Chain A
């Protein structure tokens, strides 16, 4: 270091190397232009923004552990006799796929840990994707300009389910094989082409000898490749559009308030990656997941009681369980509504509805503005109601997926449980919608009260002339900014049947429909008070607080005389405690 050239003196050696590297790369890629723009990029902060991060990081863990598993797993349905170290299955015929899974679990050091990390990370990935989607939905983050990213997100959710299902079947244990058998039944229920699709997928009659290797190539190449590509697009869009933010002091629709990428956001996000990764590894060391050795090898004439799929498929299984047994034969062709509706039509409708929702809402409300400031869920009661309705629908189906466990655990009739859930599935979601919408509107009223009068302190004060008031206190800066951020969503005006000249409006019916839908969305919203009203309300609360302020001073003393009801003789100019004590002494 003593031979350092004068030009470099003062620079830390790490910085020097870093600077040289940056120059080297920049001369070839022009990367410094990008860095200069982006190293200081601001990211807003909120706990719910970490949900998408959890999804991303658990996906990285899935990729890493999955790559490791491919080194040992054999995607073959060829029959072998198990000779590994798990005693109960020694000497048993099984597929190479199952045997290699047992090998990973019992003979390879760290194999079980990686297998369990893969499974845990996959479960967490799907869960994080789902909850992240709820966050985006309920806060209206899907609105213009982010509709494309919502579509990418819906595609990613579908792919996450596909990745989960294809992977679930690979160990070729009894439980996963039963899942495949159900898939066969579902494929066969598709009208016209179902039978052929089932034969193409399985390479012939079920189960055939091809399905494991086909699922394998989908699971390790096709599906993760698509997920990786779409995740990249997802992140690029977040980057260029800048993240949405919740309302707060200084936050507007046209700015981003938060922490710069370097160093804070990078340290926090990078650190959080290691935390997610570490927790998945700890969980896999401590908690068993998918113990395939208990179920035994797959054979299509056996099944275990109380079969349960992974959590994210549970709702489809529940739908299959709840559907009444309707099947029709028309002109010699069979339509199995009892399978086709719950397993194909319902998920199809749900995911299509999910994908189209941003466009439907924009059409219904006529809202073409850019939204970078998130909605509080209460301020969009119909959207929030629809979301809760969907969650309740999903939740009931999910519960139904465990109706046999409920029956055995609580010793109840499975028929009664199934009928209860069938009825709940129809009446539950609308009730949830109404309750949610009303709750949102009640919260809006409370917000309006707060803006007009400040918040209720719970302290009652008697004024000198005998009047009792409850002291209202002004909102703090943050609360005021959050509550007053409530956007006004005007209802689309009702169209005229004909204009002044008597020319009929050709779009009358369509416009009327839009007017009605728009009124349904926002017609009940509680109007936000005007700026002047808010100012007056807060000012009034401040005045009340001022009246009360000397009382606090008074109460703070050790000895309190005449404290009942806190009577004040001169509002704003009470006698201090010391004055009162002196007064009493002179009187004595």
Chain B
């Protein structure tokens, strides 16, 4: 009773040859002759159908070559239902796809109409090996163990296990340099800072290639209710360094919104706005999507990825959705030339949370 033999609870597999399930005896499998079995004419017709499909396939290959050579890859044509489509893609797809399809259709028609359709029976055999094979394998194993002395020389056994356990370590250690730059850097520090610092001028989001000469943003350029996507001026210096450029875009991107100062219920620091202009990180605190869907009447900012909603009039607080932290606010001021600049870096890390963030 201490060790349950499960096999004893349920009936074991009955010997082969007897049906285990269902009471019915193994009956003859019902079979109805097809038209092609009885009518030679129908069989001839099926034969012609199969051959026609194979011929059609060959023709379509020829058409494919013609289309490949003759249709310019940039030609756009109008096709009802599909609309404006590339002529080359359409023609190549239809001829190539058709050529392949009809080989398959022909083969299946052939199998269904002309090959015998009588089902046959085959016996299964137990997966379990016969007893003598198991015994022989066990004996061979024992002999191998004995001859190798695996059991007799414990020192060899243990050192072998030790060596096998250690040898993958270099393979894992070498993965360390998957991340090298900057040398000696700590991810926590990197994630906690951005390029914003006191006096860093704010420039509108200038795309990759144009608008390089914008000097900055003046407060009067932002209307009440407006939103401007912006970046630090220093990003212009990174034109030839795509990695740093992308990094700063993914971290330092901000949005500027302007609202009636009366409507600002709170912000994350005293006097961080400039005449109702507030600067917030553009990177969602949930998993890092950039956000610019702004409803100026309610001051709600909505993330397009997972619909976290932030109230920009109230410190960027989360009012709905999966984000747990408010959007970090960037303190701003005016510089001598009358452009908006940052007053410092963000006071908290931007973007998604991480373990060491605290």
Chain A interface residues (CB < 8 Å from chain B): 41-42, 45, 77-79, 81, 85, 91-95, 106-110, 112-113, 116, 145, 178, 181-182, 184-186, 188-196, 198-210, 241-242, 247, 249-250, 252-260, 263-264, 267-268, 270-286, 288, 297, 299-307, 317, 320-327, 329, 332-336, 338-339, 342, 366-370, 372-373, 403-404, 414-415, 418, 477-478, 480-481, 484-487, 490, 492-493, 499, 505-507, 511, 531, 534
Q: Once the chains bind, are A250 and B247 in contact (CB under 8 Å)?
A: no
B29 adjacent to chain A (CB < 8 Å): yes
Q: Once the chains bind, are A368 and B21 in contact (CB under 8 Å)?
A: no
Distance from B87 Cβ to chain A, minimum over Cβ atoms (Å): 11
Assembly CA distance A242 to B30 (angstroms):
23
Distance from A175 Cβ to chain B, minimum over Cβ atoms (Å): 11
Q: A109-B88, A242-B124, A278-B98 are in contact. Are A306 and B93 (CB under 8 A)?
A: no
Q: A185-B287, A252-B20, A274-B104 are in contact. Are A299 and B82 (CB under 8 A)?
A: no
Q: Once the chains bind, are A285 and B353 in contact (CB under 8 Å)?
A: no
Residue of A nearest to B25 (CB): A250
By CB atoms of chain A within 10 A, which of B104, B208, B291 has the most?
B104
B9 adjacent to chain A (CB < 8 Å): yes
Q: Once the chains bind, are B304 and A306 in contact (CB under 8 Å)?
A: yes
Count B interface residues, CB 8 Å: 114
Q: Once the chains bind, are B93 and A303 in contact (CB under 8 Å)?
A: no
Contacts of B131 in A (CB 8 A): none
Contacts of B73 in A (CB 8 A): 85, 106-109
Partner of B288, one of A182, A284, A321, A368: A182
Assembly CA distance A312 to B182 (angstroms):
37
Q: Once the chains bind, are B29 and A257 in contact (CB under 8 Å)?
A: yes
Contacts of B30 in A (CB 8 A): 249, 477-478
Q: Once the chains bind, are B100 and A305 in contact (CB under 8 Å)?
A: no
Contacts of B318 in A (CB 8 A): 325
Assembly CA distance A321 to B322 (angstroms):
6
Q: Once the chains bind, are A282 and B187 in contact (CB under 8 Å)?
A: no
Residue of A nearest to B24 (CB): A481
Residue of B nearest to A325 (CB): B324
Partner of A203, one of B104, B179, B307, B322: B179
Partner of A199, one of B10, B187, B320, B322: B187
Q: Once the chains bind, are A304 and B358 in contact (CB under 8 Å)?
A: no
B133 adjacent to chain A (CB < 8 Å): no
11 contacts between A and B (CB under 8 A): A145-B127, A205-B190, A252-B19, A276-B104, A285-B93, A301-B250, A322-B322, A325-B321, A339-B353, A480-B24, A490-B9
By CB atoms of chain A within 10 A, which of B16, B74, B247, B286 has the most?
B286
Q: A195-B187, A285-B90 are in contact. Are A93 and B209 (CB under 8 A)?
A: yes
Contacts of B12 in A (CB 8 A): 369
Q: Once the chains bind, are B304 and A307 in contact (CB under 8 Å)?
A: yes
Q: Once the chains bind, are A113 and B93 in contact (CB under 8 Å)?
A: yes
Contacts of B9 in A (CB 8 A): 366, 490, 492-493
Contacts of A195 in B (CB 8 A): 187-188, 191, 354-356
Majority SS of interface residues in chain A?
mixed
Interface 9-mer from B105-113, B144-152, B214-222: B105-113
Q: Once the chains bind, are B16 and A254 in contact (CB under 8 Å)?
A: yes
Q: Once the chains bind, are A418 and B82 in contact (CB under 8 Å)?
A: no
Q: Once the chains bind, are B13 and A301 in contact (CB under 8 Å)?
A: no
Q: A109-B68, A252-B20, A264-B117 are in contact. Are A207 and B304 (CB under 8 A)?
A: no
Distance from A38 Cβ to chain B, minimum over Cβ atoms (Å): 11
Q: A186-B287, A301-B250 are in contact. Are A336 and B96 (CB under 8 A)?
A: no
Distance from B93 Cβ to chain A, minimum over Cβ atoms (Å): 1
B306 adjacent to chain A (CB < 8 Å): yes
Q: Once the chains bind, are A301 and B20 in contact (CB under 8 Å)?
A: no
Assembly CA distance A288 to B97 (angstroms):
15
Residue of B nearest to A109 (CB): B73
B164 adjacent to chain A (CB < 8 Å): no
B126 adjacent to chain A (CB < 8 Å): yes
Partner of B22, one of A112, A200, A317, A484: A484
By CB atoms of chain B within 10 A, which of A107, A182, A505 has the most?
A182
Assembly CA distance A114 to B220 (angstroms):
52
Other than A254-B124, A260-B120, give 14 A-B pairs with Cβ distance below 8 A.
A77-B242, A181-B289, A185-B288, A250-B28, A253-B21, A256-B121, A264-B117, A302-B290, A303-B291, A305-B304, A334-B357, A367-B10, A368-B10, A493-B9
Q: A241-B127, A485-B22, A506-B2 are in contact. Are A182 and B354 (CB under 8 A)?
A: no
Contacts of B96 in A (CB 8 A): 113, 281, 285
Q: Once the chains bind, are A42 and B120 in contact (CB under 8 Å)?
A: yes
Assembly CA distance A484 to B100 (angstroms):
43
Q: A257-B119, A325-B318, A404-B307 are in contact. Are A284 and B6 (CB under 8 A)?
A: no
Residue of A nearest to B304 (CB): A305
Q: A93-B208, A280-B97 are in contact. Are A249 and B24 (CB under 8 A)?
A: yes
Distance from B30 Cβ to chain A, minimum over Cβ atoms (Å): 6
Assembly CA distance A320 to B10 (angstroms):
45
Residue of A nearest to B240 (CB): A79
Contacts of A366 in B (CB 8 A): 6, 9-10
